[in-house]
C-alpha cells in the first residue's frame, strides 16, 4: 500500500486509479490461472473494458489519428 501512497504524490489521481485497476486486473488473471477457474464471456468483457479505458486514457487513438493524417495537416497549421 505504500507504493500507492507514493504514486499519489507523483501522479494525477486518474493515473493512480488506472494503475490500481490494472493491478487488480492482473491479480484476477493470476487467480483464474492459479485456481484453474473458467474464463467466461464476462471476463472477456471486463478485459476489453480495462484495456479500452487504458488506451483512451493514454491518448493512443489521437496519436494514431495524427499519424494517419500525415505531415500535410502539420504544414497547414504552420501557415
Residue 79 located in a structural domain: no
pLDDT of residue 66: 80
pLDDT of residue 35: 94
> By residue range, what is the domain housing residue 13?
1-36
Same domain, 19 and 48: no
Q: Give the largest Cα separation in the chain, rounded.
A: 61
pLDDT of residue 65: 76
Same domain, 62 and 42: yes
pLDDT tens per residue across span 18-66 = 888 888 888 988 998 999 988 899 989 988 988 888 888 777 767 777 8
Same domain, 2 and 32: yes
pLDDT of residue 8: 83
CA 19 – CA 7 distance, rounded (Å):
9
CA 7 – CA 22 distance, rounded (Å):
14
Question: Which single residue is written with the C-alpha cell 471476463?
Answer: 43
Residue 77 located in a structural domain: no
Quote the number of domains for the chain. Answer: 2
pLDDT of residue 77: 54
Copy the grid coordinates of residue 23. 493491478
Q: Closest Cα partner for 16 from 33, 3, 26?
A: 3
Amino acid at each position: 500500500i505504500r507504493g500507492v501512497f507514493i504514486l499519489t504524490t507523483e501522479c494525477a489521481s486518474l493515473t493512480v486509479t488506472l494503475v490500481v485497476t490494472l493491478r487488480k486486473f492482473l491479480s484476477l488473471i493470476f487467480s483464474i490461472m492459479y485456481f484453474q477457474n473458467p474464463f467466461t464471456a464476462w471476463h472477456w468483457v471486463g478485459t476489453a473494458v480495462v484495456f479500452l479505458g487504458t488506451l483512451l486514457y493514454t491518448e493512443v487513438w489521437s496519436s494514431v489519428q495524427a499519424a494517419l493524417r500525415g505531415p500535410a495537416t502539420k504544414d497547414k497549421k504552420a501557415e
